[in-house]
Structure 1
Amino acid sequence: MTTQRIHVSGKVQGVGYRDFVVRQARTCGITGWVRNTRDGRVEMLASGDDEALARFVDLCRGGPMLARVDHIEAYPDDERPAKGFTKRFTA
């Protein structure tokens, strides 16, 4: 099991990006959470096996129709998310 903290920048707020991420996470079997940040990015904590996590990050590069992903930064994290994948309030 691998956990990554992921930051996504671009046009990712106000376009349904978090809902898109929740659907993709559930499809890939990823646990964790997603939230907007005050600086206009989206932050995620995602945990799963290496293959599923790589697929999930790749899917997050697309986003919903109105989104535009300019950059994704992912790095290892020690936090272990609870079961499921949820949306959180803005941090």
Structure 2
Amino acid sequence: MERFLIKVCGRVQGVGFRYFAQYTASTYNITGLVKNCDDGTVRMEVQGEIKVINEFLSQIRKGNRFVRVEEMAIKKISIVDNERGFKIK
């Protein structure tokens, strides 16, 4: 089990990115959260098995017809015990 803090840059606010991330996380059984930041980026915390997280991030990088991810900064952080679901903040 791993947990990562991810800063996502690009066309990620005002285009449904947080809902896209939540839906995608639910299909991979990933827990965590996603939140808009004041600087126009989006912050995610994702937790799960590393292989599954990599598959999730691949889908996030692809985006959809509204979302365009230009860059992701990824940092390993401490696991949150007993976390359930993937929340939009």
TM-score normalised by the chain length of structure 2: 0.93
8 Å contact from structure 1 (residues 16, 64) kept in 2: no
Distance in 1 (CA, whole Å) between partners of 2:13 and 2:62 is 14
Structure 2 spans left out of the alignment, 5+ residues: none
Look up the match of 1:22.
22
Question: Size of the alignment, in residue pairs?
Answer: 88
SS at match of 1:61: helix
**Deviation (angstroms), 1:54:** 0.6
Structure 1 spans left out of the alignment, 5+ residues: none
TM-score normalised by the chain length of structure 1: 0.91
Q: Post-superposition, which runs of at least 4 consecutive aligned residues in structure 1 deviate over 3 A?
A: none
Look up the match of 2:53.
53
AA at the equivalent of 1:87:
I
**Deviation (angstroms), 1:64:** 2.6
Say what the alpha-carbon RMSD is for the aligned residues: 1.1
AA at the equivalent of 1:25:
A
8 Å contact from structure 2 (residues 2, 79) kept in 1: no
